[in-house]
Structure 1
C-alpha cells in the first residue's frame, strides 16, 4: 500500500523525469521538492513504489523512472489539468477563426495542437453520428473481380475491388448488390456488420464464393466507425524524441500511417470521458511505447476526435488541457458553420 507521501514522491518523479529526461534519485527529490524529510526516507518511499511496479531502475545504481503503471496512477490520481492561459486561449481562437473552410479548420487545428504540445497531432475528419447504410452496389470489373461500393446516408462512400473467387456476369453482380442492400440497408454500421455474419452460408451455391468475398470486404469497410481520414501534423516532434523509444521510432511512424488503427483507437477512447488517455502497454503493437491523449468534438449530428500521440514521457497535464481546449473550440466553430 503506497502512502500519501509515497504518491507525492511518485508525482515528483514523473514531473522531474518528464522535464529532465534523466532518472530521478532521492537526493534530487530532496533538493528540488519541499518534502521536509531526509533522502533516506525518500529512498524508502521509492523502494515501496518500486515494489508496486510504479517506478523502475533503467540500469544498475541509477535513479528511477516511471513505469506505464506509474504514469497511469499519475494521470488518474495525481495530475492536475490546469486550464490554458488567457494568451493561449486568445491565440487558439484567432488562429482557428481565420480558417476559410472546414478543411482549413482541420488543417489549422492539427498544426496548432502540434505547436501547443510538441507532439504528433491527430484530427479526425468529422462524420455524421448516426449514419445508416443506404445501399450496396456491385460492378463486375474484369475476370472474377468486383467493385464493391458502400454508400451511407451521411454521404460517405467506400469503394474496394475484391477477388470474387469466381466469374460473375454483370446481371449477377447487380442482383447480388441488391441482396446485400436488402440485408444491411437502413442499418447502422455495427448492426450491418452483425447481419453480414453467415451471409455466405445462406447464399445460393452458385454465388457462395462471391458472397463470402463481398461480405468480408463490407465487414472491413464498416469496421471504421468514425470518419475515414485523420489530418496529422508534427511527426518531426516524434523523430526528435526518438531516444524515448527502444531502438528506432520508425515502427511508431509506420503505425500512425496506418490510419485504420488510429481510427479504431479513437472510437474506443470516445466513450471514456471528456479527455481520455492510453499509456504504453495499454496500446498494441508498435504503439506500445507511446501514449495517446484524445477528446471528442461534436455538434449538430456530426462528430470526430482530436488528440496527440507521443512518448510515454510526456506532459500529460498540459497535453490533456490543450486537447480539451482545442476540442471545445472545434465544437464551437462547427456550430457556427
Structure 2
C-alpha cells in the first residue's frame, strides 16, 4: 500500500535526521535506505508527507525534516522498542548487584539511564502514598522531641521530627513511647496511606488519656508525610546532556532554569502518573509526549519518555523518564527507559531473575 510505503519513507527521514541533524533529501534516502522504489516515487511520497504536515522544508532547496506530527506518527506506528545491546544490558545489570539499598539503586539507575540515552534522566522514589508501611520507629530526642522513622515495603526510609506542645508535653515518657510504637506497628504495618486515617482515629479514641498528647503529635506528623499532595522525592542526572543539545533548542536556558527549580520535573512526574491512571493498559506505563503535547511551556521544544515501576505485577509506585530534544532516537530511548523501569520493579519485588 502507498500509505505503508510513505510510513517507511517517513521512518527513514526520522532515522536519518536523528543521526545527522541535517535535512534529508530524496537522494540520501535512495543511497542509504533500501526502500524498493524509484527516486521519483520517493520524491512524490515526500511531497505527500509534506502536504499532510509530517515533514517540512526548513530552507529553500534543502531536504526535509520531521515535524512534531511526523515524530508522533513515527512513535505511534513505526517505532519499535528494540532489544538492548549486550553492553547496555550489562550496564543495567549492575543496578542489582551487591547488597544495595533503595537509595543506592535509585542513584545508580538515574546515572545509567542518562548514560544509555544521552539525555537528562529523572527517577522518582517510590511514593509514600502508594506503598505499604513496613515499620514505624519512635526515638526520643529530648524532653519534648521524638524522631519518627517511616520505613515502607519498597525500602524507602523517611525521617520526621515530632515536637510536643501543650499540656503534658514537658517530658517524653520512654515507656509510653514504647507502647505507642507497638500499637502503631500492630495497626499500620502492611497498610497503605489511604487506610491510615481511620486506623489512627480509632487508636486515638482507644488511647489512655495520658498518652493522647503524644499520639496526637505523632499522628499529625505521620499523616502530613502521607498526605496526597506531599512532595515526592526524585533524583536527576545528565543535565550536561541537555546542554550538549543546544542546537536543537531555541530557548534551552528556560528549560534548564525550570529543571533546576524542579518545577518542570514535579509536573512531568505528576502528568505521567495521571496519564497512567487514565491508560492502565499501557505497557510498563510507557508514555511519550512530544513538543507542544507537553503541558509545561518549558518543554515545548522537548520530548519526554516516561515509564512506571512498582513491585511485581501490582500498581505503579513511582515513575522514571528522560527529557531530550524532539530529534531523539525514540526506539533506543524507549528501550532504555523500559529496561531500567523493569529492573527497578524487580528490585522492589525482591530477589529473582533479572527481566529481559
TM-score of the superposition, structure 1-length normalised?
A: 0.70
What is the match of residue 286 of structure 1? 298
Deviation sequence 1:168-192 (CA, Å, 0-9, x none): xx99xxxxxxxxxxxxxx9959xxx
Residue 310 of structure 2 aligns to a residue in which SS?
strand
Please tell me whether residue 249 in structure 1 is matched to residue 252 in structure 2: yes
Residue 73 of structure 2 aligns to a residue in which SS?
helix
Distance 2:193 2:310 in 1: 22
TM-score of the superposition, structure 2-length normalised?
A: 0.66
2:307 aligned residue (285, 295, 300) = 295
User: What is the 5 A alignment of 1:204-219?
Assistant: none
1:86 Cα shift? 3.4
| 2:13/2:66 contact within 8 Å kept | yes
Distance 1:64 1:235 in 2: 29
The change in CA–CA distance for 1:276 and 1:99 in structure 2 (over 3 A counts) is: farther
- The gaps in structure 1 that reach 5 residues or longer are 133-151, 160-169, 172-185, 190-217
| 1:255/1:287 contact within 8 Å kept | no
1:71 Cα shift? 0.6
Please tell me whether residue 264 in structure 1 is matched to residue 267 in structure 2: no
Residue 243 of structure 2 aligns to a residue in which SS?
helix
1:239 aligned residue (243, 261, 282) = 243
1:229 Cα shift? 1.9
Distance 1:77 1:26 in 2: 22
Distance 2:115 2:51 in 1: 38
| 2:91/2:112 contact within 8 Å kept | no
| 1:228/1:263 contact within 8 Å kept | no
Distance 2:52 2:103 in 1: 47
Residue 270 of structure 1 aligns to a residue in which SS?
helix
Residue 228 of structure 1 aligns to a residue in which SS?
coil
Residue 317 of structure 2 aligns to a residue in which SS?
strand
Distance 2:42 2:160 in 1: 58
Distance 1:59 1:156 in 2: 55
User: What is the number of equivalent residue pairs in this alignment?
Assistant: 263
What is the match of residue 229 of structure 1? 233
2:335 aligned residue (317, 321, 333) = 321
1:67 Cα shift? 0.7
Distance 1:19 1:328 in 2: 27
1:306 aligned residue (302, 316, 320) = 320
1:89 Cα shift? 1.8
The change in CA–CA distance for 1:36 and 1:260 in structure 2 (over 3 A counts) is: closer
- The gaps in structure 2 that reach 5 residues or longer are 133-149, 168-191, 196-223, 352-356
1:244 Cα shift? 0.5
1:37 Cα shift? 2.7
| 1:127/1:304 contact within 8 Å kept | yes
Distance 2:128 2:229 in 1: 15
| 2:53/2:67 contact within 8 Å kept | yes
Distance 2:69 2:256 in 1: 24
User: What is the 5 A alignment of 1:124-139?
Assistant: 124-128=124-128, 130=130
Distance 2:100 2:336 in 1: 23
1:8 Cα shift? 0.6
| 1:269/1:294 contact within 8 Å kept | no
Distance 1:229 1:16 in 2: 38
